């Protein structure tokens, strides 16, 4: 059973005035079968955490560790992390002109599974996964994310998650920009992957509405680069009712 362990993670980005610390000591353990929700105000560093786990070159780890089943994730290249089982559904998926979705998916699946899927079963697998997310088959021939609406991009991210079957899935605001129907479809996709019990999910969100469809086991409040409170699903409801104010003030006076 996979376990992602984040210990005392400090991360900086290069800014005009020199390096700026965004993450200031994050501790978090995500195990296969668990769903963790991370909620926090804009700019608190949620995406930074997600990108740091995935290995985006913009972020510098200055202290701390990230391990997956004891393996040093921070020592891996971006593609090695993905092949090790880490998946990041991005808040802003990137457009890759000229590369068709089907070619991209097949190349990705081939890399992560370590062998090319048989062409015939693959076409069926892709079709089925697309149908499950109500993605028009025509998207297979379109360039990756190019001209996709916000909601289409998010569905395409979850399509990849379903095909790649990661051990740890980090979903960065996958719910934002989705209408109610799309939210339901996307949530069902995430739940399908989770049903096997082999994925640990880290769900970054601002809203509790997605938590109606994807039930978190743990809720973490993220303020100013660290986790400041933890609880069960009831914490999400409290946050929705009261906002982050009390946590932000506490963090500021700390």
Partner 1 sequence: MSASTVTPESRERDVSLTAPAKDHAPRILSRDPADFPVPTGREEEWRFTPLRRFARLMAGAPSTEHLTWSSETPVGVVIDELAADDPALLGLPLPVDRLSALAVANADGAVRVSIPESAATEPVVLRLHGDSAEALVWAHVVIDVRPFAQATVVLEHTGSAQYGEHLSVIVGDGATLRLVHLQLWDGDAVHAAHVSARVGRDATFRSFQASLGGSAVRVLETVEYAAPGGDAELLGIFFSKAGQHLEHRMLIDHAVPHCRSNVLYKGALTGDPAAGEAGIARSVWIGDVLIRAAAVGTETYELNRNLLLSQATRADSVPNLEIETGEIVGAGHASATGRFDDEQLFYLESRGIPADVATRLVVRGFFAEVITRLGLPEWESLLQDRLDSELGFEAAGVDDEADE
Residue 203: beta bridge partners? 37, 171
Given the complex with ligand ATP, which of 111 and 248 has the nearer CB atom? 248
Residue 44 interaction partner, one of Mg ion, partner 1, ligand ATP, none, beta carbon < 5-8 Å per kind: ligand ATP
Given Mg ion, ligand ATP, partner 1, none, residue 253, with its beta carbon under 5 to 8 Å by kind, binds none
- Taking only Cα atoms into account, the Rg of the chain, rounded to an integer number of angstroms, comes to 18
Nearer to partner 1, 96 or 196 (CB): 96
CB of 171 to ligand ATP, least distance (A): 12
Q: Give contact residues for partner 1 (rule: CB under 8 A).
A: 54-57, 77-79, 81-83, 87-88, 90, 93-100, 102-104, 106-108, 110-112, 116, 119, 140, 143-144, 160, 164
Torsion, Cα 157 187 240 10, to 10 degrees, reads: -40
Q: How far apart are CA 152 and CA 56, in angstroms?
A: 23
52 scored as a contact of Mg ion (CB under 5 A): no
CB under 5 to 8 A by kind: which of Mg ion, partner 1, ligand ATP, none does 110 bind? Answer: partner 1
Shortest distance in whole angstroms from residue 151 CB to partner 1: 18
Residues that bind ligand ATP (CB under 6 A): 13, 15, 20, 22, 40, 42-48, 91
Instruction: Report d(CA 164, CA 105) in Å as an integer.
Output: 9
Q: CB within 8 A of 115, min separation 6: which ones?
A: none
- What's the number of CA atoms in the CB half-sphere (13 Å) around residue 204? 24
**CB within 8 A of 93, min separation 6: which ones?**
145, 148, 153, 154, 156, 157
The binder of Mg ion chosen from 12, 47, 102, 174 (CB under 5 A): 47
Q: Which residues bind Mg ion (CB under 5 A)?
A: 46-47, 91
């Amino acid at each position: 059973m996979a376990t992602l362990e984040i210990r005392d993670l400090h991360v900086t980005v290069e800014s005009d005035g020199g390096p700026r610390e965004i993450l200031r000591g994050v501790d978090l353990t995500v195990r296969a079968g668990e769903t963790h929700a991370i909620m926090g105000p804009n700019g608190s560093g949620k995406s930074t955490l997600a990108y740091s786990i995935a290995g985006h070159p913009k972020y510098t780890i200055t202290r701390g560790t990230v391990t997956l089943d004891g393996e040093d994730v921070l020592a891996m290249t971006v593609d090695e992390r993905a092949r090790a089982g880490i998946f990041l559904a991005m808040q802003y998926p990137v457009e890759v002109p000229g590369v068709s979705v089907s070619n991209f998916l097949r190349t990705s699946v081939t890399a992560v599974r370590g062998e090319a899927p048989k062409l015939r079963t693959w076409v069926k697998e892709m079709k089925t996964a697309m149908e499950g997310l109500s993605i028009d088959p025509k998207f297979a021939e379109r360039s990756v994310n190019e001209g996709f609406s916000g909601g289409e991009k998010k569905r395409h991210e979850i399509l990849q998650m379903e095909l790649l079957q990661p051990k740890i899935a980090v979903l960065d605001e996958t719910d934002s920009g989705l209408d109610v129907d799309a939210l339901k479809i996307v949530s069902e996709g995430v739940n399908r992957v989770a049903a096997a019990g082999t994925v640990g999910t880290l769900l970054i969100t601002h809203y509790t509405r997605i938590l109606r469809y994807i039930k978190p086991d743990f809720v973490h409040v993220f303020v100013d680069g660290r986790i400041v409170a933890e609880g069960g699903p009831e914490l999400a409801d409290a946050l929705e009712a009261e906002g982050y104010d009390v946590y932000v003030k506490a963090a500021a006076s700390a």
